[in-house]
Amino acid sequence: AQSVAQPEDQVNVAEGNPLTVKCTYSVSGNPYLFWYVQYPNRGLQFLLKYITGDNLVKGSYGFEAEFNKSQTSFHLKKPSALVSDSALYFCAVRDGITGGGNKLTFGTGTQLKVEL
Amino acid sequence: DAGVIQSPRHEVTEMGQEVTLRCKPISGHNSLFWYRQTMMRGLELLIYFNNNVPIDDSGMPEDRFSAKMPNASFSTLKIQPSEPRDSAVYFCASSIGQWKETQYFGPGTRLLVL
């Protein structure tokens, strides 16, 4: 069975500082990992994904994430946070084993608050 | 591209009434997903379709919930009869269908059952 954990319900950071939103996962095969962002009263928007290849993935709005197989982690990062980055962030995983299907498992979400 | 379209955006109904939520996926996408989001349970997958065929409905809460996809451009999620605990935001998402591909979400339907 696949699972994903976001250990922090909320992350607070000052504008201009680097931010990290944590995500760990568990799968049987190789993971397909995704980050989504949700702004208030909106649907989820895709940020980035890791399927294979370079462990450092760059995505939208200056975000990036690093796949770490030994630590089973896929933390979301940004070098310099903006107030407009304040939103709810979801990590999601899909097991890459054959027959795993299209089912994504989402984490519980981390509320990011960027303050001036 | 218009993205995933959902209607209505908001729905207020009384307990016992039938509710129908609608979704139009992105053209060319052949997988469609229905999710429910609540504060208590987070984001839950209810059902997904591939090429209009239901593949996994294990997340459907009970027989009061049903979903159909009569063609590649339209899907419905029906709740009959509705109950207050069904109050949530319901999202539809679509993808090209291969399991590496990104799911694109609609804006959601905010359902309140009184």
- Closest-CA residue of A relative to B46 is A103
pLDDT in tens, A71-116: 999 999 999 999 999 999 999 998 777 555 667 899 999 999 999 9
- Give the separation between CA B1 and CA A82, rounded to whole angstroms: 28
Contacts of B58 (CB under 8 A, 6+ apart): none
pLDDT at site B61: 87
**Residue A85: C-alpha distances to residues A31, A39, A40, A66 (Å):** 26, 9, 12, 19
The torsion defined by the Cα of A62, A11, A83 and B101, in degrees rounded to 10, comes to 40
The nearest CA of chain B is from the CA of A82 a distance in Å of 24
The nearest CA of chain B is from the CA of A43 a distance in Å of 4
CB A72 within 8 A of CB A3: no
> What is the average pLDDT score of chain A?
92
Establish if B108 touches chain A: CB-CB under 8 angstroms. yes
Q: Return the amino acid letter for B10.
A: H
- Give the separation between CA B82 and CA B66, rounded to whole angstroms: 12
| A46 contact residues in B (CB cutoff 8 A) | 102-104
pLDDT in tens, A18-71: 999 999 999 888 899 999 999 988 899 999 999 988 999 999 999 999 999 999
Instruction: List per-residue pLDDT tens for chain B, 114 residues long.
Output: 689 999 999 999 999 999 999 999 999 999 999 999 998 888 999 999 999 999 889 899 889 999 999 999 999 999 999 999 999 999 999 998 666 688 999 999 999 999
- Give the separation between CA A110 and CA A76, rounded to whole angstroms: 11
Establish if B91 touches chain A: CB-CB under 8 angstroms. yes
- Closest-CA residue of B relative to A41 is B107
- Give the separation between CA B39 and CA A41, rounded to whole angstroms: 13
3-state SS of chain B is: CCCCEEECCEEEECCCCCEEEEEECCCCCCEEEEEEEECCCEEEEEEEEECCEEEECCCCCCCCEEEEEEECCEEEEEECCCCHHHCEEEEEEEECCCCCCCCEECCCEEEEEC
